Structure 1
Amino acid sequence: MDFLTLLNAAPLLLGLVKAALPQALASTMAFSQWFVSLPPCRGFAFEATSYLVCEVDPKLYSIELFWKDPAGKPFQSLHNLDAAQRAAGRTMLFAVNAGMYHPDLRPVGLYVERGREMAGVKTGSGSGNFSLQPNGIFYISGGKAAVQATRDFVRNRPSTNYATQSGPMLVVDGQLHPKFQSDGTSRKTRDGVGVRKDGVAVFAISNGTVNFHAFARLFRDALGCDNALFLDGTISSLFAPGIGRNDDYWNLGPMIGVFRKRR
C-alpha cells in the first residue's frame, strides 16, 4: 500500500478504531470487576477429603462479623447478608457462618461487632461441641487476626474490633485438641478458621464429611496454623458467588464476611 492510499484510508481506520474502543473498554472494565470480586479461595485436597480453603491477609482484606441488620433483625442467611452489602455498595468476596448460636439465633458465647460486645464470653461447663474444652475465640484486634483458647483470651483480654467464640479448639499452640481420636466416628461437613505465623487467617470448609482429628490435622499439618478453631458442622456454609459457591442454609446466627480493602 503506497503512502497516498494509506493516507486516504486513514479516516476509515480511525473510524474502526473509535468504533471498537467502547467495546474494548467495556470488556476491560467487565474483566476488572470480575477479577476484583474473586475471593482468595481455592480447592485443596488433604488425605482423603477435599476442601475449599480461603487465605485472607488482614493487610489486604477486611474481615468483619455480622449478626443483625440495621433494623435489629438477624440476617439469617449468607444470601441475605450479601444482598444487604450490595445494597450498601459493597462487594463481599465470601462469607461463612461464624460459630454456634441459640434457637433464637443469639450467639452462644462471646460476640463482638465493630468494637461493641453484644454477647458475653462463656467460660462455664456444658454439653456439646462448644463446651468441649478447650474452646476458643477468633478475633480481629488492631487490624490483625488471631485465634486463642478462651482461657488465654480471658487472661489477656485484648481489645477487639470483632470476636466470635466457638468450640472446640482444633489446634492449640501446635497441638491437636487432646480429646480428638484419629478413628473418631463422628463425621460431618465442618468449617473452621486458623491463623498462620505470618498473620494470614485461613478459613476451610470440607466438601465431604470429616472427623475432628482429620480436620485439625488439616489446619496444623497442611495449612500451617498453630492455633485453629472449629466454627460449626452439618450446617457449615460458604457463600462465594465469584467462584460459584452458593450455600443456602437459613436461620444462621453470626456470620463472617470478607471484603477487599480499598487502596
Structure 2
Amino acid sequence: MKDFAGKTAVITGGASGIGRAMGALFLDKGMNVVLADIEHKALDETVAALNSGSGRCVGVVTDVSKAEDVQHLADAAVAEFGGIHIACNNAGVFAGGLLWEESVADFGWQLDVNVWGVIHGIRTFVPIMAKQDSDCHIINTASMAALTAMPYSGIYHMTKHAVLGLSESLYHELAFHVPNVKVSVLCPEMINTGIGTSERNRPSAYSRDGDIVESEARTMVSEAIAESVAVGIGPEVMAQRVFDGIVAERFYLLSEEAWRETAHTRLDDIRLARNPTFAPPVDL
C-alpha cells in the first residue's frame, strides 16, 4: 500500500500504547481511524485527543475476545467510513508466574485476548477486505516473545508464538487467494506501554476466587516488567515500524536490538537440536 489518504484503519487496543501511536500516525497520513478498546474512559479520552488533527477518529468499545464485539467493530467502521483498508489486531494482555502455579483463568484470559482476539480479527476483517477493489493490509501484533522463550512468562510466550504461526499461514493463504490483502506481524521488544498493568482491564470472568494466584514469581516478573517498560522504546517507534512495513509489504517487523540476538540463539538451538539456551536480552 502506497496511498493512505482517505482510507480507513481499524486498531484494537487503541486507547493507549502502540495502538494509540498507530492511530496518531495514520491520522497524520490522512487516514480515517477507528480505535477499539475495552477501556471506555481511556478510549474516549484518546479519541478526543487525536481528533484535533486533519483526519477523523472514532472509538468503539470492544472486547476482542468476543467474536460479536469484533464484528460490531467492523460494522461500525464500514458504516462510518465505507470500508476497512488497514486492520491492526493489536490488543494484548500479560500475566506472569510459574506455569504450574498460574490459574486456568490466567491461561484463559491471555489466550482469549492475545490469540482469539487475532483470530476474530482475521475472520472478520479479511472477508471485508477481499470484497474491496483496493490494497489492504492486516497487522497482527505478536512480540519478540514469539521468537524467544523466557521463564516466568510462559503463557504470554505461548500466545505470541501462536500469533506468529497463524500470521505466517495467513501470509501464504492471502497470497494464493486474496492478493490485494497483505499481512505483517509486529514483534515489539520492550516498549513503554501499559502491558505491565494489564490486570487493570482483567474482566470479572477471569477474576473470581482462585483466579489470581499471588506468588513470588508473579511479583518478581511484574516488577521486572514495570522497570523495563518504564525505560522502554516509545510506542511511536513501533507505529513507524508498522507504517514502513506496510509501504514495503514486509511481513516480519522485528527488533534490531538484543532481542534479535536472543531469537538467533533460539534458532541455533533448534537448528543444532541442542537443549534450550537461557540467553536473555541484555537490555531486558
TM-score tier by shorter-chain length is under 0.3
Q: Which has the higher helix share?
A: 2
The structure carrying a bigger strand percent of its residues is 1
User: Which structure ranks higher in relative contact order (CA pairs < 8 Å, sequence separation ≥ 6)?
Assistant: 1
TM-score between both structures, scaled by the size of structure 1? 0.25
